[in-house]
Amino acid sequence: MEKTLPIMNLFARLRPLGFIALLLMAWHIAVKFQRVQLLPSPLAVAHAIAELAQRGLLLKYVIASLFRVTWGFLMAAVLAIPLGLLLGWYKRSQLALNPLIEILRPISPLAWIPIAILWFGVGDGAAIFLIFLASFLPLVVTAMNAVGGIAGVHINAGRNFGLTPRQLVSRVLYPAVAPQLIIGLRITLGIAWLVVVAAEMIAVNSGLGFLIVDARNAGNRYDLVVAGMVMIGIIGLTLDIGMRSLEKAKSLRWGYSED
């Protein structure tokens, strides 16, 4: 490793923030000189966020959105990962089910909105179901492919040391797929977060997606619209950083090295 001065390091870390500040300034100036209203100014958006916080809506909506994502995503993970591992292990079942998976996969989860409402009514149930759908198949495919990628020598070595099938799963199969699974979970959580916003625009009356639609419908409050967008971005980034920190575990890092 090259030695760098601490001050240079700090500078490198601040660079993205500096760039964002620069963009905000450009945004501010552009809004100042426009004649027609295309975007609210960054200050207006900041005020809108403060207003939401004051009215107690910010926390409420963020929690409502996170609640739906958590449930939909967790249920999908709990069902999809074991299913994907099984399909990956038993190649024949994979061959049998793969066409179905490949037909369902390109259907956007949003296409399910009418059916979700038909089955669960307008409310949390429909939104959670949509997030579940959005997460389920990507996780099945991730787990399935992860099993396919296990080195045969590791399975043979596990069998050689006299592991029972159950031990083989917990001591070889699971640790061997963990790095790939965690990447899959991170990407899928990103998808789930995209879908919750869309689901909330149609199926419920709380959450950040609802905020955006509601602010437009009830008086063209574009400052609130953009405030909602900013919050979605910040929370999405936070979720991603959280998942990424899992990838730093020492027992997983082998799965990400180029060797």
Q: How far is the CB of 157 from another protein (least distance, A)?
A: 5
Q: How far is the CB of 252 from another protein (least distance, A)?
A: 7
251 binds another protein per the rule CB under 8 A: yes
2 binds another protein per the rule CB under 8 A: no
37 binds another protein per the rule CB under 8 A: no
Q: How far is the CB of 172 from another protein (least distance, A)?
A: 7
Q: Which of 168, 178, 191, 213 binds another protein (CB under 8 A)?
A: 178
Spell out a b/e string for 176-201, using b for 16 or more CB atoms within 10 Å of the CB, else e: bbbbbbbbbbbebbebbbbbbbbbbb
Q: Which residues between 151 and 170 bind another protein (CB under 8 A)?
A: 151, 153-154, 156-157, 159-162, 167
- Environment class of 212 (CB within 10 Å of its CB; exposed 0-12, middle 13-18, buried 19+): buried
Contact residues for 233 (Cβ-Cβ < 8 A; gap 6+): none
Spell out a b/e string for 226-235, using b for 16 or more CB atoms within 10 Å of the CB, else e: bbbebbbeeb
60 binds another protein per the rule CB under 8 A: no
- Tell me the DSSP string of 1-68: -----HHHHHHHHHHHHHHHHHHHHHHHHHHHT-SS--S--HHHHHHHHHHHHHTTHHHHHHHHHHHH
Write the binding mask 203 to 242 for another protein: x where contact by CB under 8 A, - elsewhere: ----------------------------------------
250 binds another protein per the rule CB under 8 A: yes
Separation CA 128–CA 166 (nearest Å): 33
Q: How far is the CB of 152 from another protein (least distance, A)?
A: 9
186 binds another protein per the rule CB under 8 A: no
28 binds another protein per the rule CB under 8 A: no
CA distances from residue 81 to 158, 176, 180, 201 in whole angstroms, order as listed:
21, 14, 12, 29
Kindly tell me which of 21 and 151 has the beta carbon lying closer to another protein: 151
Interface residues toward another protein, by CB under 8 A: 151, 153-154, 156-157, 159-162, 167, 171-172, 175-176, 178, 250-255, 257, 259
